[in-house]
Structure 1
């Protein structure tokens, strides 16, 4: 049994993304509508996900495009306000992801009581955001300094829109990441949000990961969810829960219910009457 059962309540867990609209400081932030509108839309999307039956939610500043790797204070402050205002409504476990800044994700988790964070913790990459470096040793020490030792760390080892500077086989990446860093989970992604995770790569990661949780990180849909969950220990799901399966749209509760019904049947969950 993995930590997913203890922290999220089930194996083969579905972690749904609650994508926040552009925030203060972001190029596309709507100054006229302001933070009240951002919070209203976050509440709407979150409640649709929760009502739809997802196992957990991860809040992310998904529309803070183009992303920073050294995120500004105003972004973390805005995310903390949103989660704080939603807190009375939250009945399921939640995590956070401040794109793409591991320390800021941990700061937000410590402030809000998030159970997990997903980030790029290791590696050096050639990316759409320039040369992307990390410092996992300092990040983990920061985690312990701020009292976030119990926050589970989801390592994104196949980053979206980026590639290792060194030519490394995925098996090498998995083996050294697990040995050196003891991640709580490894996230395997497609090229962008909504792009299907490659089955072969998922298999190769799972084979090398030992007892470490492996999550399919992008591109889960009705037609592939059973296949991907037969390989992975769980999945992070965002785009497919939105109206018409379009990244920019808001969450459609009927799409959430449809996918979760299939997941729960696959898991053999007891359905309460």
Structure 2
């Protein structure tokens, strides 16, 4: 990994970035009208503090419970996300990023408005997903980032997004090489099919071997028993489901699970003389 910005931003090599999954928002099928937005804010605050108290290196805010996901995100989703994150922003003590699912443009807009350091979003390729066909233009996204004053915002993106497939018959290594050269994302994330489902470690190794200088993160499915092997194959990880009570996607974050996981990571770093 040649990128020095990772250590500068997160204070360590091979960082663990935790997902702060926002509950269903207004307009989402699962939105709890009776509990309202205060419930969404309260859950986000609890998860944020559990993740930070547990020792993660960064946090990504995502509209994870906006199921089923939209290919064209509605304005109410962005408005609601902005409200939630604005209410907890002064309590954030680690670098944080934005993930408006399916939209790099909106993720960048939120990152600029909320002074986030990075985003996670697909930015390149034509693919098929449960939300329909996607056709992304990395050039437009890069120019939008510059136009809105987001020059320093880092982009974590994918070769193949979660639950998606490329119609083009190209190898994973070829896709990674093309993405690095043409899309120029700051981190390539390698994902499994869905949240909590790990990618094949061999896939991570293929991507890592294919790119010249772009860091590679494991994007899904990390747990306390596999994280050391996953970090051996990568430059960092995005972690979510395993941090939740009983390791169940729908639950809130359990600070004890976070601490136990991060203790393993800290030992791993110490044994390898990583900062």
The question of a shared fold, defined as TM-score above 0.5 by the shorter chain, is answered with yes
Give the corresponding residue for 2:219: 217
Instruction: Establish whether residue 247 from structure 1 lines up as the match of residue 249 from structure 2.
Output: yes
| Structure 1 residues 188-244: Cα deviation after superposition (integer angstroms, max 9, x where no partner) | 000100001211000010011222110000000011000000110000000000011
- RMSD over aligned Cα atoms: 1.2
1:245, 1:209 → 2: CA distance? 32
In the alignment of these two chains, the number of paired residues is: 270
Q: CA deviation at 1:100?
A: 1.0
Instruction: Establish whether residue 160 from structure 1 lines up as the match of residue 189 from structure 2.
Output: no
* Structure 2 gaps, min length 5: none
Give the corresponding residue for 2:204: 202
Instruction: Establish whether residue 180 from structure 1 lines up as the match of residue 182 from structure 2.
Output: yes
Give the corresponding residue for 1:48: 50
Give the corresponding residue for 1:235: 237
Name the TM-score, length of structure 1 as normaliser: 0.97
| Structure 1 residues 22-75: Cα deviation after superposition (integer angstroms, max 9, x where no partner) | 011111111111101100010001100000000000000000001112111111
SS in 2 for 1:162: coil
| Structure 1 residues 254-273: Cα deviation after superposition (integer angstroms, max 9, x where no partner) | 00000000001101189xxx
Q: CA deviation at 1:181?
A: 2.0
* Structure 1 gaps, min length 5: none
Q: 1:30-69 counterparts in 2 under 5 A?
A: 30-69=32-71
1:102, 1:162 → 2: CA distance? 16
Name the TM-score, length of structure 2 as normaliser: 0.96
2:76, 2:145 → 1: CA distance? 20
Asked whether the 8 Å contact 2:71–2:132 carries over to 1, the reply is no
Q: Which of these residues, 101, 105, 108, is aligned with residue 106 of structure 1?
A: 108
Q: CA deviation at 1:96?
A: 0.8
Asked whether the 8 Å contact 1:68–1:101 carries over to 2, the reply is no
Give the corresponding residue for 1:73: 75
